Structure 1
């Protein structure tokens, strides 16, 4: 396992940020209490090869972003690997006014691989399942994660407790350290389009994935909470034009779904997009 370093003082943060300035790719994840627009961001993990930096946001607060971390996260030329960036980016934007740029969401890359392979692709999977499928046994223990999840279920405020336990620090580090390997493995399985076209598509889709939650001013009971469905109009189609494969951007629309508050170009009479309507029907059937 890569080394992990807790960054919990301003001096440590300055040194770490300086070390990250020249990096062209970082792996990023966040932990917190009810993480998202209205929750509390407590820990931000940034990984480079053989090392994971764990920024203690609960302790450092705005200071760590003001001394350079915001600039790194907002730099378009530096790739940020996430696995499901939605709530992380929403928390960073609404709590610390950080607009993450250069996102490549590996959850979406896995779905694009399935889509281009002609498989069912509208259902997202968790990191553990995706890791097991593409990388096999790499020391990413499902049992270890389950133990931490049980502890978090029993104490919703665990990420606020200081000092942070070593179990939580290891858990946080493992959530982010394997993302580059996962990215490379999935890309190696996509042969129908050049790597550059695939990554352009993923960057476009990842921004929409982040915006889906950042711009969502809907109720707390979003239809996507507790489901594995991908929202509409996130991953675009890839087409061949003049021998070059590229993605087709979605047409702009001002029409929002009344359930997920996403710009879906809704045409249903009840105001819902088709995906939200399907979720509504599924929940009704499950309740019978």
Structure 2
């Protein structure tokens, strides 16, 4: 069986089939798959460029080139099982960890009719473990900093990689999100994509250790609600409302 290149772009049907073989059947407790999506105006109104997948047991990150592959990224079948990446993304029994799944789900559903399931949303896990008010959710950078999980060297490298990537794609810094569609992918962007999911398993373990059974259930339900909301006709993934905690969480 062909093996996808670690941290490289998966940009052929053959490589995608091989990746499905890698992803399928991974352990589910703790979750093995940690994901993020990059694109231009990431939403049903924009496009998807890259989907990152970090596989915890293998300590490997793979970058799926959705810009190049299109539907093939989700429909290329494993030669072993016949399953596809779409099957994995839509499986209720295969946990997938995202940080704020809403815009990613909106883009996947709007562009490729992917109905995400089995989602554990790290942003909600952080909110659930707080001992201070739960009125607003936090961004990924703040969560990483507050969790204190990185060494001094890791924190310095993380900040530098993040800044180099943002300068290329953030419009407010003179960049453009279209850089995610450049091929070959600029190395600074590739490293940014890899890093974006690299630390998610540590965050998951950090929050999971603090969650009570009641809050586990609330996070699972709220994660499902976020996916359902992102697929609704009137969903708007931009604005201050995106920072507000789920209904009822503030008072708990």
TM-score range with shorter-chain normalisation? 0.7 to 0.9
Deviation per residue, 1:59-105 (Å, 9 max, x gap): 01001211211000001001010001000001001100101100000
Q: 1:9 aligns with which of 7, 12, 16?
A: 12
Name the counterpart of 1:178.
199
Deviation per residue, 1:237-283 (Å, 9 max, x gap): 87xxxxxxxxxxxxxxxxxxxxxxxxxxxxxxxxxxxxxxxxxxxxx
- 1:189 matched to 2:198? The reply is no
Deviation per residue, 1:34-61 (Å, 9 max, x gap): 1011111010011112101110000010
- 1:57 matched to 2:57? The reply is no
- 1:11-90 alignment to 2 at 5 Å? 11-23=14-26, 24=28, 25=31, 26-49=33-56, 50-67=59-76, 68-90=84-106
CA distance in structure 2 between the aligned counterparts of 1:102 and 1:177, rounded to whole angstroms: 20
- 1:132 matched to 2:145? The reply is yes
- 1:235 Cα deviation from its structure 2 partner: 5.0
Conserved 8 A contact 1:42-1:160: yes
What SS does the aligned partner of 1:157 have?
A: helix
Name the counterpart of 1:106.
122
If the length of structure 2 is used for normalisation, what is the TM-score?
0.82
Conserved 8 A contact 1:27-1:48: yes
- 1:198-237 alignment to 2 at 5 Å? 198-217=215-234, 224-225=238-239, 229-230=243-244, 232-233=246-247
Conserved 8 A contact 2:55-2:61: yes
Higher helix share: 2
CA distance in structure 2 between the aligned counterparts of 1:234 and 1:14, rounded to whole angstroms: 43
Conserved 8 A contact 2:10-2:62: yes
Q: 4+ residue stretches of structure 1 with deviation over 6 A?
A: none
Q: Quick check: which has more Rg, 1 or 2?
A: 1
If the length of structure 1 is used for normalisation, what is the TM-score?
0.72
Conserved 8 A contact 2:53-2:62: yes
Structure 2 unmatched runs, 5+: 1-5, 77-83
What SS does the aligned partner of 2:7 have?
A: strand
Conserved 8 A contact 1:76-1:102: yes
Higher relative contact order (CA 8 A, sep 6+): 2
What SS does the aligned partner of 1:47 have?
A: strand
Aligned residues: 226
Distance 1:13 1:83, change over 3 A: same
Q: 1:157 aligns with which of 142, 154, 178?
A: 178
Conserved 8 A contact 1:202-1:235: no
